[in-house]
Chain A
Amino acid sequence: AQSVAQPEDQVNVAEGNPLTVKCTYSVSGNPYLFWYVQYPNRGLQFLLKYITGDNLVKGSYGFEAEFNKSQTSFHLKKPSALVSDSALYFCAVRDRGNEKLTFGTGTRLTIIP
């Protein structure tokens, strides 16, 4: 079975500060990992993914994430937060051989001006 944990329901960061949104996963094999963002009353928007290769992946809007196999983590990061980054962020995992993408419960990120 595959699962994702986002341990923080809410993260508050001051504008201009670095941000981290945490994600850990569990799969039986090698994972495919994704981050999505959801703005109010909108669909989910793809940010970035890790499939293979370099553990640090870069995505849209200046976000990046680091795959850490030993800690089974895939934390989302940005060096300098913008107020417009305020949204709901979802980590997701897919085990190889599966169609199903399993989402975490989401982390609400609020950037304080």
Chain B
Amino acid sequence: EPEVTQTPSHQVTQMGQEVILRCVPISNHLYFYWYRQILGQKVEFLVSFYNNEISEKSEIFDDQFSVERPDGSNFTLKIRSTKLEDSAMYFCASTGGPRNTGELFFGEGSRLTVL
């Protein structure tokens, strides 16, 4: 069964460092998302991406965050200068649509620890 894959599974970084989290969505999916989960609790929307551009973003997704689909298969989330409060589990998701009604398929997550 096709699945969303994410790397790395766990990354430890120093505050102020740049981090790139990588995702390979399901191959025929068109809509891509990043969510984060802090302390195994609330799941928060960060950004949605379609047709090579951001379609919606949350207030969390400030100038320190960026997303890219550099090669037609990978979907990346970059945090330019990490803060302690960026420590969380980051989940990539994709859907084949329809945009509003399609269920999301999530990856296993990338745990980011900022020291």
Contacts and interface: CB of A to CB of B under 8 A. Distances in A.
Interface residues of A, number: 24
B56 interface: yes
Contact of A44 (B58, B91, B99): B91
Contact of B41 (A46, A100, A105): A105
Interface residues of B, number: 27
B103 A88 contact: no
A100 B56 contact: yes
B58 A97 contact: no
B1 to A, nearest CB: 12
Interface in B44-67: 44-45, 48, 50, 55-56, 58
B75 interface: no
Interface of B: 4, 31, 33, 35, 40-45, 48, 50, 55-56, 58, 91, 93, 99-101, 103-109
Q: Which 8 A-B pairs have the closest CB atoms?
A: A43-B106, A99-B56, A103-B43, A99-B48, A46-B103, A44-B106, A43-B108, A100-B45
Interface of A: 32, 34, 36, 42-46, 49, 51, 88, 90, 92, 94, 96-103, 105-106
